């Protein structure tokens, strides 16, 4: 083998080693960047489960809108609809607000039959996204919370819960203040005689 061929082979080997070193360095750098990106990325926020879901209900005939609290797995009746939330989630205060609940809605028909008309997720930020389709009543999720001024439901002995009216699920108004007591009568002397009696003679 002449010197020229030997030089070409040595140059090729050096170039190949250099290329392999460069590829290895690139892979190492890419792995380091991905690892750092994973550390710097914010962790996915955990959902916070709440025991109370807050709904708004609209009677389309009267135009009346009420807000009512419903405990998880409790059934509350609004008009001809029975609303039962199964879960209600919010996000931590440090995260963008997002409130959603998995809800079942049944209709009580004129024949007193129970018909499921909605099962799915409701989102407080988009009430029209998954809305209850009913001719007379609308119900949508407005909030989830940890407590309610409404008393929690009482479980029946059979294991179920009696549906209560949405009117009873509204927070009660504050009690009126007690009327003030009348001032105590001032101490006085002897009472005057009745008008039909003559005063005693001296």
Which pLDDT belongs to residue 67? 96
- Model pTM score: 0.57
Which pLDDT belongs to residue 132? 86
Which pLDDT belongs to residue 182? 55
Look at the chain and report how many structural domains it folds into.
2
User: Is 61 contained in some domain?
Assistant: yes
Which pLDDT belongs to residue 129? 79
Q: In whole angstroms, give the CA distance from residue 91 to residue 124.
A: 13
Same-domain pairing of 142 and 52 = yes
Print the domain residue range for 152. Answer: 48-169
Same-domain pairing of 63 and 141 = yes
Same-domain pairing of 57 and 94 = yes
Q: What is the pLDDT of residues 15-39, one digit of tens each?
A: 545 555 554 555 555 555 544 444 4
Q: Could you tell me the pLDDT band of residue 46, with boundaries at 50, 70 and 90?
A: confident
In three-state secondary structure terms, 24 is helix
Which pLDDT belongs to residue 29? 53
Q: How far, CA to CA in Å, does 143 sit from each of 67, 70, 85, 97?
A: 10, 11, 12, 10
Same-domain pairing of 74 and 165 = yes
Q: In whole angstroms, give the CA distance from residue 122 to residue 144.
A: 11
Same-domain pairing of 113 and 35 = no
Which pLDDT belongs to residue 97? 87
Tokens of 84: 């039962």
Q: In whole angstroms, give the CA distance from residue 65 to residue 58.
A: 4
Same-domain pairing of 29 and 88 = no
Among residues 97, 73, 77, the alpha carbon closest in space to that of 153 is found at 73
Same-domain pairing of 56 and 152 = yes
Q: Which residue has 């709440």 as its token pair?
A: 50
The sign of the torsion formed by the CA atoms of 60, 63, 67, 71 equals negative
The sign of the torsion formed by the CA atoms of 133, 147, 98, 67 equals positive
Same-domain pairing of 73 and 161 = yes
Q: In whole angstroms, give the CA distance from residue 202 to residue 190.
A: 17
């Amino acid at each position: 083998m002449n010197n020229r061929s030997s030089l070409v082979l040595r140059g090729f080997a050096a170039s190949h080693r250099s290329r392999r070193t460069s590829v290895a360095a690139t892979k190492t750098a890419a792995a380091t960047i991905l690892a750092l990106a994973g550390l710097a990325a914010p962790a996915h926020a955990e959902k916070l489960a709440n025991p109370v879901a807050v709904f708004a209900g609209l009677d389309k005939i009267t135009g009346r809108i009420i807000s009512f609290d419903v405990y998880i797995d409790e059934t509350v009746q609004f008009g001809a609809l029975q609303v039962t939330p199964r879960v209600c989630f919010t996000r931590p205060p440090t995260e963008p607000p997002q409130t959603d609940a998995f809800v079942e809605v049944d209709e009580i028909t004129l024949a007193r039959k129970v018909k499921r008309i909605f099962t799915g997720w409701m989102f407080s930020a988009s009430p029209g996204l998954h809305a209850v389709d009913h001719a007379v009543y609308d119900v949508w999720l407005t909030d989830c919370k940890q407590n309610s001024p409404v008393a929690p439901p009482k479980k029946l002995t059979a294991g179920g819960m009696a549906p209560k009216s949405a009117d009873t699920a509204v927070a009660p108004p504050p009690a009126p203040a007690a009327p003030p007591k009348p001032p105590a009568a001032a101490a006085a002397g002897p009472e005057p005689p009745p008008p039909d009696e003559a005063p005693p003679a001296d």
